[in-house]
Structure 1
Amino acid sequence: MKLLYTIACWLLSLCLLQTAVAQSGYKVVAHFPVSGNGGWDYINLQPGTNQLYIAHGTQVNIIDKQSGDSLGIIPNTIGVHGIAFVPALGKGFTSNGGSNTVTVFRLDNHAVIDQIAAGENPDAIFYETYSKKIITCNGRSKDLSIIDPVAHKVVHTIAVGGKPETAVSNGKGKVYVNIEDKNEIAVVDMNKMEVVAHWSIAPGQSPTGLVIDNNTHRLFAGCDEHLMVIDADNGSVVADLPIGAGCDGVVIDPALHYICTSNGVGNMTVVKEMNKDQFEVVENVPTLRGARTSCIDERTHTIYMPTAAFEPLQPGEKGRPKIKPGTFQVLKLVHE
């Protein structure tokens, strides 16, 4: 009897240990209300500051990452999708899909400096450190605008052969672009300013969010219920991992070796990078419906996601539900 009791206790301890290991440590700790109505897209944290920037309809809301207090807005960014920063120049840039422009603003007081004509429907935007250029992914014209952040002008346009959703850099002259309508990643050589490869990511479809681990040379492409892991050196598929539906954003925490996908269905899938070829889905952390994009503060391991509450669909009604006025917010998830 004592032996059976000992075995039972051991099995119970093992189960509890496995349960503990299976948890990511992430949970939602705050809901920051944000003024204004309308849709949203990317959220970004200005490096070295407490300032969160949220693309929100026709403006960019800026809030404090600790308190959620409003720090201002950048107006007249029609159909804004994303925000990028060049701290060395004291400038920020927004991609305005509704006006086919990029707004240039000052980081110290958010005053608008300039408007740059870009490609059609500029979506994701980021600062590429190797070329020292701002890059926009233009969904309708199916190309990239390469922008000189000093001169405020497009210096190259690179056709990518499909709808570019988002892009990342290896910091050594290669940029990788999710091509949403072709289920592939296009590789751009920033020295040649041209596409040098197209890599299929099948069975992944409609890739959206994309991050890179430059230590392991692995790309992580968020697709429809799949996270595809791609070798950034040769384009081979390394792993295919299940995630929540409606992913539109992926972040990476190099210190924790976590890749987290923000899923519009209402959860965040946390994947552990065991090594460059082995990965484990740790947990689907509950968030809120619509929280499909995200950014991470790597220093504190904190993740932020914008969303809102929705009106219920009426019988026979299709498409996206209407946003309830006054419910726009940012979720704060901490790692404990």
Structure 2
Amino acid sequence: MRLAKPLWIAAVILCSHTLLSAQSTWHVVKTLPIGGPGGMDYITIDPVSHHLYVTRSTHTQVIDPASGKVIADIPGQQRSHGVALVPKLGRGFITDGGGKGAIVVFDLKTNATLGTIAAVPDADGIIYDAFTNRILVSAGDSNALLTLDPNIDPKTGKIDTPIALGGAPEFLATDGAGKAFVNLEDKNQVAVVDLKARKVIARWLVAPGGHPVGMAIDRNRHHLILGCRNPQKMIVLSTETGKVLAGLPIGQGVDADAFHNGQLFASTGDGAMTVAAETAPGKFEVVQSVQTRIGAKTMGIDPSTSTIYLPTMEFEPQAPGATGRRTPKPDSFMIVVVAK
């Protein structure tokens, strides 16, 4: 049947709109079966090599996402949490929260361990701040923010004097101009730290969220993105005033947030990834919920390819009404890959 011209034009417009919508929708494109022993925590992506760095409790895997192969495995940790990369020095840094706490320094080319720096118990979230040229580490049980020079002697060097936070930090971000923002999950606050003065200069409440754990930053718009567990919210907060701009619903068990190309993300352990956006000046809305897999509570985005990676495992079935940690199946570690 041949359509009349107005109907034909309408059909073309509708088809074009459908294609555009499909192209702008995030979805799971594949899953990389990795395996190997150990748990999992944060994932870090090198945007140049595109390698994935995933902490696995007692070791840290380096994975090529193109082949799905483990290209290196860095041993020697008690309870690894996160990885920070400093490409200009050819170094990587792994937080080890076990025992008295440590930071493992490794070579980015060979993935060989260069040394281990003594830290404090529960060394956890870790990032590199180029403005201050410091590695920053949150230490929850120690209620402290740690800093160290990335050019430190990996065998004899020492961390800077810890900055007392007055609460238990989880993750952190920096504004690129000398301030750090740190989640205090036990205080329902964000601590604002002047890195030059080495002290907390403000404390911002995160209500209507609570128990903030995940954090990301949009430096251009001066927004913090927080993942809160109780109540379950994605909080958008102004880095200029501390004012809460939005509180959006998310799933259970959030552990990471991200920002990319104007969109805000929260990954949760119940197997959902919330995507939000500023749909009008000062107005934020959830625009999509991507079904990933149970346990996929942390994530990392490769900004150069707009690809999101979420580590998880297969888990044993839970009894009806059961709560708490799920039991992972042996050798079931995988990475869920999400793209548009």
Tell me if both proteins adopt one fold, taking TM over 0.5 as the criterion.
Answer: yes
Q: Which residue of 2 aligns with 1:334?
A: 339
Alignment match, 2:268: 263
What does the per-residue CA deviation read over 1:79-119, in whole Å, with 9 as the maximum and x for residues that have no partner?
A: 10000011111100000011310000000011001111112
Does the Cα contact within 8 Å between 1:156 and 1:193 map onto a contact in 2? no
Any idea what SS the aligned residue of 2:318 has?
Answer: coil
Cα RMSD of the aligned pairs, angstroms, is 2.4
**1:276–1:68 Cα change, 3 Å:** farther
Q: Counterparts of 1:223 and 1:23 in 2: how far apart (Å)?
A: 30
- In structure 1, C-alpha distance between the alignment counterparts of 2:69 and 2:256, rounded to whole Å: 24
Q: In the alignment, which residue of structure 1 is the partner of 2:298?
A: 293
Partners of 2:168 and 2:324 in 1: how far apart? 21
1:130 Cα deviation after fit: 1.5
- Residue of structure 2 equivalent to 1:45: 45
Asked if 1:248 corresponds to 2:255, the answer is yes
1:106-125 mapped onto 2 (5 Å cutoff): 106-125=107-126
Letter in 2 for 1:228: I
Identify the residue that residue 226 of structure 1 maps to in structure 2. 233
Q: Hey, what does 2:3 align to over in structure 1?
A: none
Give distance in 1, aligned partners of 2:138 and 2:280. 31
Q: Would the alpha carbon gap of residues 269 and 18 (structure 1) be closer, same or farther in structure 2, given more than 3 Å must change?
A: farther
Distance in 2 (alpha carbons) for counterparts of 1:22 and 1:202: 35
Contact 2:312–2:336 at 8 Å: present in 1 too?
yes
Map 1:7-86 to 2 at 5 A: 24-86=24-86
User: What residue is the counterpart of 1:134 in the other structure?
Assistant: 135
TM-score of the superposition, structure 1-length normalised?
0.91
The DSSP-based 3-state class of the residue aligned with 2:161 is: strand
Q: Structure 2 matches for 1:49-198, cutoff 5 A?
A: 49-99=49-99, 100-151=101-152, 152-198=157-203
Q: Is the 8 A contact 2:222 2:238 kept in 1?
A: yes
Query: What is the letter of the counterpart of residue 72 of structure 1?
Result: A
1:153: how far off? Answer: 2.2
Change (3 A) 1:278 1:145: same
Per the alignment, residue 320 of structure 1 pairs with 325
**Structure 1 CA distance for aligned equivalents of residues 36 and 23 of structure 2:** 35
Structure 1 residues 229, 38: CA separation in 2 closer, same or farther (over 3 Å shift)?
same
Q: Structure 1 CA distance, aligned partners of 2:322 and 2:122?
A: 28
- Amino acid corresponding to residue 57 of structure 1 in structure 2: S
SS in 2 for 1:88: helix
SS in 2 for 1:84: strand
Equivalent residue, structure 1, for 2:314: 309
1:215-250 C-alpha deviation (Å, 9 max, x unpaired)? 110111011221101010110111111112211111
Give the direction of change, closer, same or farther, for the CA distance of 1:245–1:148 in structure 2 (3 Å limit): same
- TM-score by length of structure 2 reads 0.90
1:270-311 alpha-carbon deviations (Å, 9 max, x no partner): 112335512221111110000000000111110000000111
Query: C-alpha displacement at 1:44, in angstroms?
Result: 0.5
- 1: distance between equivalents of 2:90 and 2:304? 21
Structure 1 residues 162 and 78: CA distance shift in structure 2, 3 A: same
Q: Which runs of 4+ in 1 moved over 2 A?
A: 16-24, 273-276, 313-319
Q: Measure the CA separation in 2 of the matches of 1:69 and 1:318.
A: 34
Native 8 Å contact 2:46 2:302 kept in 1: no
Question: For structure 1, which runs of at least 5 residues remain unmatched after alignment?
Answer: 1-5
Question: Identical aligned pairs, as a percentage?
Answer: 40
Structure 1: distance between partners of 2:278 and 2:64: 31
Tell me, in whole angstroms, the C-alpha distance in 1 between the residues paired with 2:122 and 2:285.
36
Question: Is the contact made by 1:207 and 1:221 (CA closer than 8 Å) also made in structure 2?
Answer: yes
Q: Answer yes or no: is the 8 Å Cα contact 1:216–1:276 preserved in 2.
A: no
